Structures are given as C-alpha cells and as structure tokens.
Structure 1
C-alpha cells in the first residue's frame, strides 16, 4: 500500500517525530524522556478517560519539550515530509501550534515562518510529500489567543506547499467552550483557510453538533462518534464535512476496544467523506500506511475501496489542482494494477510534482 498515492490531512507537528529523533534531541538538550519513549516503546494507554488522556498528554509534552530551536523544527518538518513520501503520500497538511515553540525562536511569527520555509524547501525534493500547514489553536488556552493565531495564519494563507491552508482547534475536547472559538474561525474563513477543528473523539455526537454550529468546518479531526446520533451524522454528510479518521489513535486511546470497532464502514456507508490520518505516530506507533492496512485487514476494504479512500483524501485536501490531478491519475493506475504486484510493496515511490 505504500505505492497507493495518498493525501495526509491529520498529522501533528510534534507527534510526527521519529522516535529516534526525539531520543537524539533529548540527549542533545540534556532532557530525560519517559520510559515509554525510550525502551518501552510504543506507549500503551488503558482507556479514553482522564487518566488515559493525561498519560498521552504527558508523553506529548515531554516530546515537545525536546524541540528547542530552529534546527530542531526544520528537522521535524523535513523528516515528516520524507517519511510520508516514502509511504506514498503526495500531499501533507501538517498541523502546528507555533505558540509551543515561540520561546525558542523569538515569537509565534518566526516559529510559523520557520515551519513554512522548511515546508517549501523539502517539498522541492522528489522523494518527499509536498507540505502545507494547518495552524492550530489549543482549547486549553484563552479564545483570544486563538484569534491571534487565526490572524497570523491569515497573513500566511496561500495555495500550495509552504503556505498555510487551514486553521484548527486541538487538544482535549472536554476542555473549553467550542462556541467561544467561533470568532477565530470566522477570521480564518475570511482569509480562505479551511476550517479543520478536532471534535467527536473523546466526546460524542453532541460535541460534533456544537462544533458544526460554532466553526462551520470543512473537515473534522476524528469525528467518528458522529455515528452515535443519526441526525448528527446526517448533518455531517449533508454539509459535505470530511472526517479525518485515525483508527490507530482511536484504539490506542481506548475510544474503541479494537480496530474492527472503529466505525469506518458505518461512516462510509452513510456517505461520509473520509480521509485516513495517523494523528501522532510518535506516540501511537502507527503511520498513515498502517491506517490503510487497518481498513483492509480489520474492515475488509478491498483495493477499489482503498483507492476510493485515497481519492477522498485528496478531495478533502487543499492540494493544488495540478497535485490533485496527478495523484488521482496515479490512484486510477494503482487500482487497475493486478493485486499480487502490490502484495509486498514496501518501498515508497519517487513521484513527479
């Protein structure tokens, strides 16, 4: 499945790191990592309750603390693009909150500009995915900070690699009032940015409905629990809101007991646009290609269905038309190949821009 062209729309900046990279950065900066990011890897989480989320957040914060300057930030962007390219991603929208890295580089503006500059540079490499950026506000901070980030994102809005293409809202969805972030999303919308908040993973369908009302999303990060209320799912489908479904993280956090319980089939049968995502490979130990393997192995989705998922990922993306057209043609070619030729495809393609 590494040769199937894909767009990757749900990948967090810190969470994209290679485990070897976070270990090297920790050593370089004299920091201690939790055992589950050292020898006992990947981490395991007991349940999607406060304790499970706290453990996840503790690991994420420990990894983020290892990012101490421009060189570290550039390395993360570059490696994310190369790793995605190696498994067939043509287009990557990486999500970053520049607030987290601002103290080390002189503010949120230079923090974002470093990410954008490296995204543009690495996108020129034929073996890398083209990288655009989603600026994400945190639900754990004041909504006024989200407005500041939305204005910053708007100043760098564009099309293509090395630009900001979306605005999101992340972190524990049980915190904060989604409606209070609506103004930030309106600022982003006026700049032409995609609205891509998280909702419907740790909380159920009512949280999805509230997010639809407050942010007018183009996509929802996760959104899987919209299936718990047929009326909410009907709203999602009717509004054409794509869902960034991340089966590996859903299972790791205990939202669902196993991969087969993730409601991927139910969402597809309802007519939802689904784009598979890896979320935080560093923490959850699974990458984008693993999500396609889950779709195949746990949900019985055949090659035609996998190709349809890949097409949906581009339909939901902000990829430029030339990237989208090239990828769709390559997906059609992949779907027309005999299945045995793909049985052992473990090496990523070099693809034209």
Structure 2
C-alpha cells in the first residue's frame, strides 16, 4: 500500500489550540506554573459521552490548554508546529481555525491576535512548504454581536494565499445559542468573499443541519456526519456542493459513534458527498490528519484510488488559489500513478 504520509492533501478542519502538541502544552504549563489535568498529558485519547456532561468535560480540558497560550511567542509556536506536523503528513494546504477572543487579552486585542496568527502563517508556510491560511471563528457561547465584530475583522484580511483569512466559522457546542441570530455575521463574511464554514451535524442531527444550511448558507459544514441520517438532506447537500469536514477521531472522542468503523464515511462518499477529512483537535483526541486517512483505509476499506479521491475532494473544497489546487491535484495523480510497493 502506498505511503499515506506522501499523499498530497488539504487539511480544512483543525482548531488553533487543539492543534497543540502535548510536549508543547507541557512546556507552556511549566513556564506559567499551571497545573494541568492529567487527561491532557497522559497520551490517552479523550472519550466522553455525547451529552452536555461530556461536552462540559471536553470544554473544560480545552479551556485548560488554551489558558497556557499567553503570549505572541506562544501563538507563533502553535502555528509553526501545526504547519510542520501537517507537512510531515503530506498536507500541502492547511486552513487553521482560530477564535482570537481568548488570546486578545495577552496581545492587546482581537486585531493584534489575528495579525499575529496571519503573520505566523506566512512565516510557517515559507518554512515548511505547506500553505497556511486562516479561518476566523465565532463561538456559539458568545453574543451574536461579537460574531459580527469578528466577521468584520475577518473581512479586512480576506484573501486566498498563505497568511490570509479564507473563511468564517461558528464553533462550540451545537446545542448552545440560536443559529438564526448568527446569520448577519455570516452575511458580512460572504460579502467579503469568505467561505462560510460553520460547525453542524455532529452533536445534533438532521434538523439542526437544515437550520444551519438555511441560516448560514455554508460552503463547507464542520463535521456534518449526522446529515447521513436523512437521505433527502444529504442529497440536498450534495446537489448544493456543500463539502463535509469529517473528523472521525473527534466523532468517537465525543461519543457520537462508538468506534471509528461506525463513522458513516463510506455511506457519505457513496452518496456523492464531497468529504474532506480533518483532525479537529489532535491534542485531545490523540490523532492527527494522517490517522484519519489510515482509518479510512483500515476501518472502512478505502483503496488507494479512493483515498486519492478523498485527498482531491479536500483540495477542491479548500479556498486555495487555482494554481495551488492544480499543483496539489497533479501531485495526487502522481502519488496514485506511482507503483504500489505491495504489488
């Protein structure tokens, strides 16, 4: 079987704090004399039930890790290491998602926080050969007016290249907030040419996906796996060209499915969905992008040709430039054309 680490691909669902290496978290915690929960450092992937208590535990751990990111240097380190890790796994394009609100107090506001991440993305792109662009995300737990502020900020830095903002997202617990109230923020983002990339369809089912689609007009849906429970809805997503950012490890970690083999990846692909595999929060769920492709091979029986199709789908769903897309797609073809070492 061909080496999946050499398969060119795009990574479209990776959160800023959640991208952190465990070793980096340990370093920062020691620097700031923070006592970390053992669940963040024991190298045991998080497993919680798919209810509010489970989400509370996940969010508490995420917040504990985020509290260790307290300076411009810390933020730059996370971006650089995320790019380095992605490059090692064949990712030629990373669109990393960040809510600057949490880091703003340490660097002078949300504008400096975004500018630090964008500048770090440009530097990391040049250093590691993986294009790093940014998705600015609002949180469902905050007021919708905060989301509008972030959307206007994201629009100021809109572009498609390394170190530019390519999308606007909405994250955190799908059960929180009123989706319709965030529609104005997404209109601001779309007018600036940004991709609409809200979360939806992981913790909640098809009815919530429909609400997200109607209110926020997504180009890509963060997760979206539960759409498979409603064939008509899934067909509408396919017909509308809405890509799904499927993150098998986090689906299992958050209790949505008992095992990675139960994630409906094959069913989504067979229905014609454009699927881009993502790692979501490797810090908590214990596996990075390459592991999601290995799961597709080992747990779902994807052939190398089908894995190449997944990689192509990720590239096409990205907001990379036409030149970058063409280059990565040609590289995928070259990967598949190479002899199978097991043949």
Provide the residue aligned with 2:311 in structure 1.
Answer: 310
Provide the residue aligned with 2:156 in structure 1.
Answer: 155
Name stretches of at least 5 consecutive residues in structure 2 with no aligned partner: none
SS of alignment partner, residue 320 of structure 2: coil
Provide the residue aligned with 1:118 in structure 2.
Answer: 120
- Supply the distance in 2 between the matched residues of 1:197 and 1:319 (Cα, whole angstroms): 18
Q: How big is each residue's C-alpha offset from its partner over 1:216-273, in whole Å with a ceiling of 9 and x where there is no partner? A: 1000000000011112111111110000000011011110011111011111111100
- Supply the distance in 2 between the matched residues of 1:101 and 1:44 (Cα, whole angstroms): 24
CA contact (8 A) 1:31 1:66 kept: yes
Identify the match of residue 39 of structure 2 among 23, 36, 52: 36
Provide the residue aligned with 1:17 in structure 2.
Answer: 20
Q: How big is each residue's C-alpha offset from its partner over 1:126-145, in whole Å with a ceiling of 9 and x where there is no partner? A: x3421000000000000000
Provide the residue aligned with 1:324 in structure 2.
Answer: 325
CA contact (8 A) 1:83 1:128 kept: no
1:179 to partner: Cα distance: 0.6
- Supply the distance in 2 between the matched residues of 1:9 and 1:93 (Cα, whole angstroms): 5
- Supply the distance in 2 between the matched residues of 1:180 and 1:113 (Cα, whole angstroms): 27
SS of alignment partner, residue 340 of structure 1: coil
- Supply the distance in 2 between the matched residues of 1:35 and 1:67 (Cα, whole angstroms): 18
SS of alignment partner, residue 136 of structure 1: strand
- Supply the distance in 1 between the matched residues of 2:203 and 2:94 (Cα, whole angstroms): 25
Matches within 5 A, 1:43-62: 43-62=45-64
1:138 is aligned to 2:144: no
- Supply the distance in 1 between the matched residues of 2:135 and 2:181 (Cα, whole angstroms): 20
**TM-align CA RMSD:** 1.0
Provide the residue aligned with 2:173 in structure 1.
Answer: 172
Q: How big is each residue's C-alpha offset from its partner over 1:8-29, in whole Å with a ceiling of 9 and x where there is no partner? A: 0000000000000011001001
TM-score (norm 1): 0.95
Alignment size in residue pairs = 340
Which has the larger displacement, 330-339 or 96-105? 330-339
- Supply the distance in 2 between the matched residues of 1:330 and 1:133 (Cα, whole angstroms): 23
SS of alignment partner, residue 158 of structure 2: coil
- Supply the distance in 2 between the matched residues of 1:46 and 1:93 (Cα, whole angstroms): 27
- Supply the distance in 1 between the matched residues of 2:35 and 2:16 (Cα, whole angstroms): 20
SS of alignment partner, residue 72 of structure 1: helix
Provide the residue aligned with 2:199 in structure 1.
Answer: 198
Which has the larger displacement, 51-60 or 89-98? 51-60
TM-score (norm 2): 0.98
- Supply the distance in 2 between the matched residues of 1:212 and 1:332 (Cα, whole angstroms): 33
- Supply the distance in 2 between the matched residues of 1:16 and 1:91 (Cα, whole angstroms): 15
- Supply the distance in 2 between the matched residues of 1:339 and 1:84 (Cα, whole angstroms): 23
